[in-house]
Chain A
Amino acid sequence: MSARTHDMGGAPAGPIDRSEPPVTLTEQRVDAMMALLREPPLGLFSTDAMRRAIEDLAPDVYLGSAYYERWCYAMRDLLVETGVLTDAEIADRLAAVQQRFETEGAPP
């Protein structure tokens, strides 16, 4: 057995990229929505459930994704798991959003 992907203490890795790109609005929104969904009064899921949803992403998705990208996928999974949204309505809306930007340009 070996460590799960997120459990990376002691794993071989290269030099640290110390650059600090500014946080984007998309990232800020994911951060904010996750906090609002998690905290009272909504309290839809716990911090541990959020961590678990991130950890359960496929290893290639976890390692290939940006930090808040992982959060966004975990948020989608948690919203389905808690019955707030369904897979079908997310898929439909995602297609609609993509369609919209194909005709109108880049995301805001």
Chain B
Amino acid sequence: MTTAHRHDRTHAHAATADHAPPGHEWEFLEIALRELLIEKRVLTAAAIQARIDAVEGATPIQGSRVVARAWVDPAYKARLLADGNAAVAELGYGFDGPKLVALENTPARHHMVVCTLCSCYPKPLLGLSPAWYKSREYRSRAVSEPRAVLAEFGTVLPEDVELRVVDSTADCRYLIIPLRPVGTEGWTETRLVDLVTRDSMIGVAPARTPQTDHGTDV
């Protein structure tokens, strides 16, 4: 059992605007609700833990594999762009509920995803979203100051490339297919997977280039 480990993690992080300090009042409410739901047999502790494990199992590697496949297989890419849910199911990834829409970056157009209303994010492919994606600052500024936001991520696009900000407002979840880096011709799909970062699938950064393949960039 990993209770001790989890206990440490609960108290490990620093408090920021979108992160409550540990021991905050609302954590007692979580305990109260959970106890009541379990006692009333609405939920079980095992089901909650199983769900946590399942969520932990969804990480950006899933999305990276989808993108790498699209890079090497034009027919797959066409299917992904036409019907995202069906295409990721081909690779064994369930994407139930919302419609999955893949958008492809090109030399002339770069996409960047935000959800200004809440926090819509393709969790089954990318895992839980990073804190900044859910922050007031990103949600507010991504639509009005997209180039300034990208610059904060170290991404500078040429002026003649259209930056298309995708506001994930409704029942779709968006996955960006970043540009395949130059210098990767002939690479295997497996090797390409490592270049496809989470941030490149949100669209705040390009895919890793072979030169920075072994860098410390996340």
> Do A and B interact directly, with beta carbons closer than 8 Å?
yes
A interface, CB within 8 angstroms of B = 6-26, 28-33, 35-37, 42, 47, 51, 54, 63, 65-69, 72-73, 75-76, 79, 84-85, 89-90, 93-94, 96-98, 101, 106-108
Chain B interface, DSSP helix/strand/loop, else mixed: helix
Q: Is the CB of B140 within 8 A of A10?
A: yes
Residues of chain B within 8 A of A21, CB atoms compared: 12-14, 16, 19, 131
Q: Does B187 contact A (CB under 8 A)?
A: no
Q: CB distance A26 to B10 under 8 Å?
A: yes
Known contacts: A10-B144, A33-B37. The answer to whether A15 contacts B137 by CB under 8 A is yes
Contact B55 A90 (CB under 8 A): no
Nearest-CB distance from B100 to chain A (Å)? 15
B residues contacting the other copy or chain, number (CB 8 A): 65
Interface residues of B (CB under 8 A from A): 3, 6-7, 9-14, 16-20, 22-24, 26-37, 40, 42-43, 47-49, 51-52, 55-56, 97, 114, 116-119, 128, 130-132, 134-144, 149, 152-153, 167, 218
Q: Please state if B140 and A11 are interface contacts (CB–CB under 8 Å).
A: yes
Query: Which A residues lie within 8 Å of B139 (CB)?
Result: 8-9
A64 to B108, CA, bound (A): 40
Min CB distance, A1 to chain B, in Å?
17
Q: Kindly provide the distance from the CB of B140 to the nearest chain A CB, expressed in whole angstroms.
A: 4
Contacts of B7 in A (CB 8 A): 25, 108
